[in-house]
Amino acid sequence: MESLAQYIQTLTPQLSAWRRDFHHFAESGWVEFRTAAKVAEILDRLGYELAMGRDVVDAESRMGLPDDATLAHEFARARAQGAPEKWLAPFEGGFTGIVATLSTGRPGPTLAFRVDMDALDLSEALDDSHRPFREGFASCNPGMMHACAHDGHTTIGLGLAHVLKQNEAQLNGTIRLIFQPAEEGTRGARAMVAAGALDGVDYFTAIHIGTGVPKGTVICGSDNFMATTKFDVHFTGVAAHAGGKPEDGRNALLAAAQAALALHSIAPHSAGASRVNVGVMQAGSGRNVVPANALLKVETRGESEAINQYVFERARDVITGAAALYGVTAEIHLMGAATSSSPTPAWVDYLREQASQVSGVMHAIDKVKAPAGSEDATLMMARVQQNGGMASYMVFGTDLSAGHHNEKFDFDEQIMNVAIETLARTALNFPWTRGV
């Protein structure tokens, strides 16, 4: 498909412009108002059928949602930063998901591709050693930065939308492009699954670029994601004068500290790798006050769903025990979740066949094995597979200026062309029969 590669090459200036625009106006999870509005405008112009906001994001299933004041502030800022007014309204209040559908009118299965849109809560490096700053597209929003390539993922989704629309006559069945909010912290996928965004999907592919995979290598069935549960713990005690009446107090700080130490002593599981981490502890108001409130931000992970559940249940017991020990209460609030990944072997084989035909791909391999991070696209994969479909997760290797979640993160934009061509081939070469 030399003409396919040539057509994608003509899109390169636009792809770079989109990526740099999203990078410059970085928006973190559930507040991707400008990003989502821009994406919707582009997809509508192409002729895709759009489902947005509450139609694809279940309100009660959202996790780690900012407070109302933050949502309102970020919505107003998106408007001030040039979000297309026509497309803003569906996303207000933190409903920043989009599903774009291309129905060919010809019989065939539904192929879905998922990309994510959110930035990290991180301040970008602002010095000349960092290309985005040097070339004028570093984030203008303090404390928000695309340091995990989601600006590139969103752009890949838009590039794929252009290619498939350009070649619509060669397609059968239905194409569904899913633009997901709030992947960071594994917060957004559950709400889209609950809203039915994955229902009816026969073949599903999620993507990422970078992640330490070398340039020229494409992982076609990544299975190194750990199941995870992210949660906050609020300890509530009783304040008292630390010198005059300490016996009247109930020390929430000590309960939190006891829990933090004990959480890290949870025994590992013989069936596979597990993790627990207390990332934040906040407590107290003054040196002469028995602390009445404390907060822990915690995550558990497991190589399988069962292992993660084991760690989480142990963690809950530890927290309950620490609270009882100090006579305080503890409330656990779930903030994010993902499951482990199990790509469908037949779909992985097909993806590998397509990736191996793309210029610039030297190694198209099935997977890497070593439990590491977590990804909530696994919840989407699981829903498709539970419904009898096939699913996988692809990683496109590329050169990085710094590691993911680093203030100097940047990537080689040429990888966007490679990813777009691979995904386009996946749809255009598909045999359009069940059971690849």
DSSP 286-336: -TTB---EEEEEEEEEESSHHHHHHHHHHHHHHHHHHHHHTT-EEEEEEEE
CB within 8 Å of 81: residues ≥ 6 apart: 25, 34, 140
pLDDT of 368 reads 72
Instruction: Mention every residue, 6+ apart, whose C-beta is less than 8 A from residue 270.
Output: none
Determine the pLDDT at residue 435: 42
Query: CB neighbours of 281 closer than 8 A, spacing ≥ 6?
Result: 256, 257, 260, 294, 295, 296, 297
Is there a contact between 38 and 84 (Cβ–Cβ < 8 Å)?
Answer: yes
Please list the alpha-helical segments (H only) found in 248-290: 252-263
- In the chain, helix, strand, coil percent, each to 5? 40, 20, 40
Name the CA radius of gyration of the chain, rounded.
23
- If phi > 0 it is left, if psi is from -120 to 50 it is alpha, else beta; for residue 405 that is left
Rounded CA-CA distance 363/218 in Å is 6
Res 373: pLDDT: 85
Q: What is the DSSP string of 378-391?
A: HHHHHHHHHTT-EE
Nearest to 124 by CA among 419, 406, 399: 406
CA distance 355 to 207: 13
Whole-angstrom distance, CA of residue 86 vs CA of residue 82: 11
Please report the pLDDT score of residue 436 as a whole number: 39
- For 302, the token pair is 């497991």
Q: Could you tell me if 47 and 165 are in contact, meaning their C-beta atoms sit under 8 angstroms apart?
A: yes
Contact 362, 396 (CB under 8 A): no
Q: What predicted TM-score, i.e. pTM, was given to this entire model? A: 0.94
What length does the chain have? 436
DSSP symbols for 372-434 = ----THHHHHHHHHHTT-EEEEEEE---BSS-TT-TT--B-THHHHHHHHHHHHHHHT---SS
Q: pLDDT at position 371, please?
A: 53
CB 413 within 8 A of CB 227: no
Given a contact cutoff of 8 angstroms between Cβ atoms, the answer to whether 150 and 116 are in contact is yes
Question: Residue 369's pLDDT is what?
Answer: 65
How far is 343 from 231, CA to CA, in rounded Å? 27
- Closest by CA position to 196, among listed 61, 1, 104: 61
pLDDT per residue of the chain (436 residues) written in tens, 0 to 9: 558 999 999 999 999 999 999 999 999 999 999 999 999 999 999 999 999 999 999 999 999 999 999 999 999 999 999 999 999 999 999 999 999 999 999 999 999 999 999 999 999 999 999 999 999 999 999 999 999 999 999 999 999 999 999 999 999 999 999 999 999 999 999 999 999 999 999 999 999 999 999 999 999 998 889 999 999 999 999 999 999 999 999 999 999 999 999 999 999 999 999 999 999 999 999 999 999 999 999 999 999 999 999 999 999 999 999 999 999 999 999 999 999 989 999 999 999 999 999 999 999 999 876 556 899 999 999 999 999 999 999 999 999 999 999 999 999 999 999 999 999 999 999 986 544 3
